[in-house]
Structure 1
Amino acid sequence: MRCKSKTFASSLMIACSCSFLFTAYAEDAIPPPQTELMMGTEDHDTPESIQLDAAKGDANTQLTLAKMYFSGNQVPKDVANAIKWYRKAAEQNNTEAMFCLSEIYRNGFDIEKDEKQGIMWLQKAANQGHVLAQCDLGIAYRDGSSALAKNEIKSFEWLEKAACGGSDLAKFALMVSVNAWQQLPINEKTVDPADFKTQYVLGKKYWKGAQCPVDKKKAILWYTKSAQQGCYQAMNELAWLYATSPEKEIRNGTKALEYARKAMKKGRMLPETIDTFAAAYAANGQFDEAITAENRAIALFNAQDRDGEAKAAERRLIIYQHKRPYLE
């Protein structure tokens, strides 16, 4: 997992199970949506002028009007009207409106709870890059419900996307999940063949020598098992290892590109997967493609204010411009 957690998370003691810590933090960390996303406007526009602009089809004004109706700010509280205007904004691809609709329906704020509608809007917002929606969708897949089947792989993927988008809650959840497992003894003989997360963690343990001797062959074995279950983080790790390993017996440009393509397909346009794709291209001598991909990764890292990772990618870009692969 290439996205790094903030330093506060690294100091936490893993004193109980991952699921307990995750649940406790999830309940405490996110303020009720009424207090943040649905409070209405602070502008000096009158309710009448906002109504007129919303009626003309401006999505941002429709969102503002929806918040006003939901909170009762400058207009009488009217949840039905709030939903009407949230929906109009959402239908114009306003992701915050989609997320607000999901919160209203999933939590039953002044209406009858509708989990199916809530999940639909949550997925729409998450698919368009709304970080809070991605985090909530990861949690929803983790827990499962009548409207969404439990799926640990999708939970892991959405939490990773939210973490890379800056969600501290998602970073914490992933840190607890992976680090706690790394600190526990794992009996390889009893690992469920379908347990992609334990397989992924075993790969990390052996690669880094976490409470066990470094064994890169075993690391690749367990990463491969996890990747075969659909874990794109394992695919991305394999692509990176095959592309950048200084050891000739491990380095394999063909496999690097194969796993990079799989990770890109699963991880879409995350800067980590694009960065790995660049390394895989370079490992195969395709330096023009590597340069194009690395420039894209740098732009995305910068857009997410991930300066350290952007600078590291810039150093790799210089190597590719000199027609050399990057080796760790």
Structure 2
Amino acid sequence: MMRKIARIFGVVPQTSSKNIAALRAWAELGHAWAQYSLGRAYWKGEEIDEDKREAEHWYRLAAEQGHTKAQLFLGVAYDNGEGVTMDKREAARWWRMAAEQGVAEAQTKLGDTYYFGERSDSGKRSAGDKREGVRWYRKAAAQGHMQAQTHLGFAYCYGIGVIMDKSEAYIWWSIAKVNGNRRAAKFLHENNWRKHLSKNEICSAQKEAAARLEEIENRKE
């Protein structure tokens, strides 16, 4: 990853140490892409010793410049208490920044925060806002995020945060299944809720799922 970035910006590293040194030079000049990449290297221990605190430092610098992936992973750091003191509200704050810029993963995580309730550092959850959670799931699902699609199917199946609609549940779980979500595939074939749909309704839902999936794929191109 870092070698590819370095080549794009005219730096061709010959060794791992030079690779990191070149990336650090770009990062220290204030380039957000380099700050994020250096943070990622520290986070994952790629070509350098793993150091979550150092990763958080570089993520923050990039995030404060509006780098969406840095905002996403800084939120993850706060959510898990890795490299920083655990702070669920701070995690949600960074996820919102990325979500508002269209990052599907951040939209899903923010959706979880609203739908299931904000967690305190002790693990307890607030009441949450189901409708707001669904709103963010919908944004992420439209971009092809299979976890958001699965959660959206759950919301429609049980009418939590939205008006109950078994056909919509079938549609979103069908789409998530195609995208590889095993939970959606399991939910899709459970008979205790499928029995509420007629054969014609299932047929219509399958056609709608195919149409939406095509729209999602076309949007990615």
Whether TM exceeds 0.5 here: the answer is yes
TM-score (norm 2): 0.63
Q: Paired residue for 1:91? A: 64
Once residues 82 and 96 of structure 2 are traced to their aligned partners in structure 1, the CA distance between those partners, rounded to angstroms, is 19
Structure 1 or 2, whichever has the larger Rg, is 1
Instruction: Pick one of 304, 308, 321 that aligns with 2:220.
Output: 304
1:128 aligns with 2:101: yes
Instruction: Pick one of 174, 178, 189 that aligns with 2:156.
Output: 178
1:216-250 deviation digits (Å, cap 9, x = unpaired): xxxxxxxxxxxxxxxxxxxxxxxxxxxxxxxxxxx
- CA 211–110 in structure 1, closer or farther in 2 if over 3 Å, else same: same
**How big is the alpha-carbon RMSD for the aligned residues of Structure 1 and Structure 2?**
2.9
Residue 82 of structure 1, CA deviation: 1.1
1:138 aligns with 2:111: yes
Secondary structure at the aligned position of 1:113 is classed as coil
Q: Paired residue for 1:24? A: none
Once residues 180 and 153 of structure 1 are traced to their aligned partners in structure 2, the CA distance between those partners, rounded to angstroms, is 13
Once residues 203 and 142 of structure 1 are traced to their aligned partners in structure 2, the CA distance between those partners, rounded to angstroms, is 21
Q: Paired residue for 2:208? A: none
Instruction: Pick one of 156, 162, 170 that aligns with 1:197.
Output: 162
Decide whether the 8 Å contact of 2:99 with 2:106 is kept in 1: yes
Residue 146 of structure 1, CA deviation: 4.5
Secondary structure at the aligned position of 1:125 is classed as helix
- Alignment map for 1:66-85 (pairs within 5 Å): 66-85=39-58
Q: Paired residue for 1:166? A: 144
Residue 202 of structure 1, CA deviation: 8.9
Given residue 153 of structure 2, which amino acid in structure 1 is its aligned partner?
M
Residue 211 of structure 1, CA deviation: 5.3
1:95-136 deviation digits (Å, cap 9, x = unpaired): 000000000100112443111211110111111111001011
Secondary structure at the aligned position of 1:197 is classed as coil
Q: Which structure 1 segments of 5+ residues have no match?
A: 1-39, 182-194, 205-209, 213-271, 273-297, 306-328
Which stretches of structure 1, 4 residues or longer, exceed 3 Å deviation after superposition?
Answer: 40-45, 146-149, 200-204, 300-303
Given residue 154 of structure 2, which amino acid in structure 1 is its aligned partner?
V
Decide whether the 8 Å contact of 1:41 with 1:67 is kept in 2: no
Q: Which structure 2 segments of 5+ residues have no match?
A: 5-11, 14-18, 121-125, 169-195, 199-211
Identity over aligned pairs, percent: 27
Once residues 53 and 163 of structure 1 are traced to their aligned partners in structure 2, the CA distance between those partners, rounded to angstroms, is 35
Once residues 158 and 41 of structure 2 are traced to their aligned partners in structure 1, the CA distance between those partners, rounded to angstroms, is 43
Given residue 201 of structure 1, which amino acid in structure 2 is its aligned partner?
D
TM-score (norm 1): 0.44
